[in-house]
Amino acid sequence: MLNKVQSYNPNFNAARVNILATADNHGNVMSLPRLIKTVENNAKEIFPKSGERSTLNLFTIVGDWFINPSKSGFITHPEMKNGDLQNAALLKTIDHIRSIAAKEGSKHSDGNKVSPLEVLYTMGNHCLDAGTNFILGVMKKNPMKSVITNVNLEKSPAIKQAMEGNDNIVKSQVYAIPDDKNPDLTHHILFVSATIPSMDFYNPGLCEGLEFYDNSNRKDTSLEEKDLQGTIKSIKDEVDVFKEKYPKGAVILMSHMGAKLSEIVQKNVPQINHILNGHDHKNTQSNIGKTSINSLGKDNEMIKAINFEFDDKGDFIKATMTPYFTATTLADGLEKHPFQLFLNECFEKDLKPLITLDEVKTESNVEGRKSALPNATEKVLNNLGIKDDDLKERLMQDDNFKSLILSEAEKLLTEEGSVEKGLDKLTYGNEIRYSNSYLMNYLTSVIKSEIKHNINKDIFALGIQSSAIRGGLKNGADNLRVMKVFDGVSEDLSDLKIGDVKGEELAEMIIENVRENLKAPTRNTIMHWSDVQINRTMIDDILKGRIEGKLTDAVRVRNKITKQFEPIDLQETYKIVVSRKFLVKDDLKWPPLIRDRFESIHKTYDMLFRDFLERNDYKLHITPKAKEARII
């Protein structure tokens, strides 16, 4: 597909390509107004010389705009699913970015029509959380080019059919940019893509009619060059054809594979000038040979502007990159921004405070506050100029006055921090992938209690993979935050199953999980358990020979009577609940060995958490149990 950008101004000295790049948005639509505002505030630098005949403006989305598209739960629009509103937000974003680029272009136009902003998209693994049909609907209808270079069309009948009569879905995309002075000279740029091919790992069984080259059930951290030969060849073939026709043309790879795998592709296809990299959630920039690689962060925290230039001989001469962090954007007037008003309409009921969350006060909390209250009361009275003891006593006999003074004393204690305040939020962060987490402790405990209350009273423990979690909880949280908690796993794969395992099997399952996690702590997620304590440090020390001991000694379970953690009984039978996504894994030893013993409880983590919230009138309490160390 060849698109030609036309306009004319003899004062422009070089052909230019301006790219606004983002990746791994993960359905975080509520942060999009700030992202749009960031683009508006920096439009001059992001889209320089727009409107000139030799400028091409692009907006690239390098995968995972969507996450868990089939999930329901909205209050304002209960008929809609995640994917519906995430796509509506995408269309709005495209409209806004296009209008920003056009406005900037009108300042530089020579009177001819300003060229439209081009939009390029490539799939991420989470974009396929709802399977092939959802993402095909998006790619066929949206006003953007979807680049699918490493899709194996011979094994992808659904994709081949979708491409018939529809030029929105392409193997690669070439743009031609006229030279500013020489009407016979045109500069060319090729865009190719690569999606992490491990769909049998990320979304097993969901990608009917779609297959990537090198598809496997292996996580990306374990893939090597030999595992990517089909992906490399598919990209190299497109680049070779392009370079044969346009030897001086530039090549851009949109890679939703992470920097490690992107570098492997670069090594084999060194003609690539620039890689826009997603999937690893990092903000990094590196140069390998003549190729620059920019990782694009996550969750709308940043955007990057990459500006390329060609000289009048057609040589690719310069590329600059500028990151813009949305958190630093001045938010003046943001509440009245058209994008924010659109979201307010979509989520009116979902944005109202829903959750009351606080910490159950321990005896030390209560006693500490009780003992500190008299001194705080004295301070309040003295601050009011009431210093006579007899007057204080008489005034404090009036119930209304006493209530007012005690309330002010309580506020003073909180402000001074002289008494432990207690938690009012359970934080989500990257650390839940490898360390102890109050949030994970809380979620595993309350969902286990819901299963025990309504489904099976004999359950011993519930396991949740940390990759299933995408958001935390805090006092005053709205429904959108609640929906985000379990947004990291497809609804189709989050069906929960219950079954029996021996203590030895449970311990070995946990040890296998920890060993994988130790290889790549931020990528290979750890499993958190409701009533199991895991000494991750001990496992690491034993494996590295720093200490002697049995690996199973690093796994302890809660005694049902004393409630304390004790060594796991390797011969005991434990009834546990895990997700379908864990049990279908064939790249691990234990899931295939135990999966036949498990049966569905016809609930997901999200459904059970919703049940728990409703049963408790959305008034949640953090107990000391949530603050214990379960991963050491």
Domain 425-627 has CATH 3.30.420.40: no
| pLDDT at res. 495 | 93
Residue ranges per domain, the chain? Answer: 2-351, 362-416, 425-627
User: In terms of DSSP H, where are the helices of 225-355?
Assistant: 229-245, 259-268, 338-346
Pick from 420, 496, 501: nearest CA to 512? 501
| pLDDT at res. 179 | 87
Q: Does residue 459 carry a pLDDT above 90? A: yes
Q: Does residue 132 carry a pLDDT above 60? A: yes
DSSP string of 467-508, one letter each residue? GG----EETT--HHHHHHHT-SS-GGG-EEEEEEEEHHHHHH
Beta bridge partners of 325: 302
* CATH number, domain 2-351, options 3.20.20.390, 1.20.1250.20, 3.20.20.70, 3.60.21.10: 3.60.21.10
| Tens digits of residue pLDDT in 212-241 | 999 998 888 889 999 999 999 999 999 999
| pLDDT at res. 370 | 67
What whole-number distance in Å separates Cα of residue 565 and Cα of residue 576? Answer: 17
| Tens digits of residue pLDDT in 485-494 | 999 888 888 8
Higher pLDDT, 328 or 367: 328
| Tens digits of residue pLDDT in 544-587 | 999 999 999 999 999 988 999 999 999 999 999 999 999 988 88
Asked, colleague to colleague, whether 2-351 and 425-627 share their fold, the answer is no
Higher pLDDT, 183 or 191: 191
| pLDDT at res. 388 | 85
What whole-number distance in Å separates Cα of residue 229 and Cα of residue 611? Answer: 47
Pick from 276, 281, 254, 275: nearest CA to 488? 281
| Tens digits of residue pLDDT in 147-171 | 999 999 999 999 999 999 899 999 9
Both tokens of 78, joined, read 């209960």
pLDDT band at 361 (very low <50, low <70, confident <90, very high): low
Separation of first and last alpha carbons in the chain: 55
Residue with tokens 């749009």: 36
Pick from 313, 57, 345: nearest CA to 175? 57
Is residue 495 within 8 A of residue 602, CB to CB? The reply is yes
Which amino acid type is present at position 605? Y
Q: Does residue 109 carry a pLDDT above 70? A: no
Is residue 291 within 8 A of residue 272, CB to CB? The reply is yes
Cα distances (angstroms) measured from residue 297 to each of 101, 130, 152, 320, 405:
23, 23, 28, 18, 50
Both tokens of 426, joined, read 């359970």
Mean per-residue pLDDT of the chain: 90
Phi-psi region of 279 (alpha: psi -120 to 50; beta: other; left: phi over 0): left
What whole-number distance in Å separates Cα of residue 349 and Cα of residue 352? Answer: 6
Is residue 53 within 8 A of residue 12, CB to CB? The reply is yes
pLDDT band at 3 (very low <50, low <70, confident <90, very high): very low
| Tens digits of residue pLDDT in 401-449 | 888 888 888 777 766 655 455 678 999 988 999 999 999 999 999 999 9
